[in-house]
Amino acid sequence: MPEEELGVEGATHPMYRLAPRMFKHLIGKDHVDFRTAQQQDAAQFLLYFLEQLDRAEMKQDRDQAKTSLLFSYEMEDRVVCTADEKVKYMVQAPETVWSLRVPLEKGKILPKKEDEPEQKKLKQEGEEEEEKTVPTIAFSDCIDSWYAESTLDDYRWPHLNNTPHPARQTSGFKNFPRYLWVQIQRYELGPDWQPIKLEINLDIPEEIDISQYKSKGIQDGEELVPEDGETPPPSGIVKTEISEFALSQLMDMGFGMNGCKRALLAVGGSDSEAAMNWIFEHNMDDDFNDPIPEDNGASAAPEASAGADDAVVMSLVESLGCFTIDQVRAALKQTNGAADRAADWLFSHMDDLDGAIASLEAKTNDEGIASGNKTPLEDGEGKYSMIAM
């Protein structure tokens, strides 16, 4: 029958339709989790899908703009030293999904709507049901909670000879992407360390304006914290280099990155056994997991500057727990520094991770895919209309 009689034209014809099961199989067939029939996280699948698009596009033309850049944004942290009010700005690696926690303390119990007469009659005739009281939280409260100023206790400042002082920190958008993916953290860890889903109603408007949450950068009158190397260490103090191997050993035992670094610095930088004894003696100290001053921490990964930020590399090593520093660094290079996509890339290539990394290195040398040329990110007004939820 002719298409005119069927009432379909062009790409709307059934022959161009793709069943969700076929799409999922095509995209996830090479992923250790997504190729199974088990339920998986939608945000993780999205990140993996964007990674696959980027890889396919780079094979065709490594210089063209990638699809993931439509969703990419950078955050800028503003850290203020409470001792002298000097300010430090740090730009985070690009991300593609904005993750917001749920501030349960701001939940409100809204009045219930009156039931229809028929529903009232059914309730009276049947057994009374115990209804759950579910709080409602406004989307704006989630954003305000994310934007609220936080305090970093006993932050050690290199320009003050590593003296610990509290710091105030806020974050803001460095740019606004064309499309904004938002993930609401509806799960939290319970007392038994098992994930618990939060029972809430989320009130999301159809239009949002987040232009006020853009980072303003350096302001007039602000005095910046001196860059690394501008303030020499006190005489007699020798800069300690941290062994990557020893750091990985300690972190594999379940200790945090900052605590492991602090222990290695205390015992010379490479003696993991002595560092372990130091951890057992000091793991209850108030500053045990505080960030390490940058002049010491920068030596922990001397090669990280080749293509990935030290802090991002070590943060992923600590949070993932099953990958080495070199593996994480290679994944970050592949995903242009995007931490969320780098983690997904690592898990999707666990079957032959060494082979995948070797292939990346070969492509880097032969084609320059990971040459480090940074494509400028789009920057819009910060106003968005809801398309889907």
Q: Supply the pLDDT for residue 22.
A: 86
Highest mean pLDDT of the ranges 219-228, 319-328, 361-370: 219-228
Residue 4 has pLDDT above 80, yes or no: no
Confidence of residue 116 (pLDDT cuts 50, 70, 90): low
Question: For the residues 29-51, what does the mean pLDDT come to?
Answer: 85
* Res 3 pLDDT > 80: no
Average pLDDT over residues 245-267: 79
User: Which residues are bridge partners to 93 per DSSP?
Assistant: none
pLDDT given for residue 232 in this prediction? 41
Any idea which of 116-130, 236-250, 297-311, 312-326 has the lowest mean pLDDT?
297-311
Q: What number of CA atoms fall less than 13 Å from residue 94's CA on the CB side?
A: 25
Phi, psi values for residue 354, rounded to 5°: -60, -40
H or E element: which one contains 184? Answer: strand 181-185
Give the model's pLDDT for residue 309: 61
pLDDT digits (tens, 9 = 90+) for 186-238: 887 778 877 788 888 999 999 999 999 999 888 888 999 887 644 444 433 44
Tens of pLDDT, residue by residue over 141-193, are 999 999 999 888 878 888 887 788 889 999 999 999 999 999 988 887 778 87
Residue 369 has pLDDT above 70, yes or no: no
Q: What is the pLDDT of residue 33?
A: 82
Dist CA 339 CA 99 (whole Å): 13
Q: Percent of the chain at pLDDT above 70?
A: 77
Residue 92 predicted with pLDDT over 90 = no
Which of the two residues, 246 and 130, has the higher pLDDT score? Answer: 246
Domain boundaries, the chain: 75-232+379-389
pLDDT at 366 over 60: no
Average pLDDT, the chain: 77
| Angstrom distances, CA of residue 97 to CA of 25, 177, 198, 312, 365 | 23, 11, 20, 16, 30
Reported confidence tier of residue 306, pLDDT bands at 50, 70, 90: very low
User: If you average pLDDT over residues 86-102, what whole number do you get?
Assistant: 90
What is the model's pLDDT at position 178? Answer: 95
pLDDT band at 73 (very low <50, low <70, confident <90, very high): very high
Average pLDDT over residues 344-370: 65
Q: How confident is the model at residue 258 (pLDDT cuts 50, 70, 90)?
A: confident
Task: Answer yes or no: CATH 1.10.760.10 is held by domain 75-232+379-389.
Answer: no
Structure tokens at 101: 């926690």
Q: Is residue 345 exposed (0-12), middle (13-18) or buried (19+ Cβ within 10 Å)? A: buried
Nearest to 141 by CA among 201, 211, 217, 77: 201
Q: Residue 294: its pLDDT value, please?
A: 54
Residue that wins the pLDDT comparison between 92 and 375: 92
Q: Which residue has the higher pLDDT, 381 or 115?
A: 381
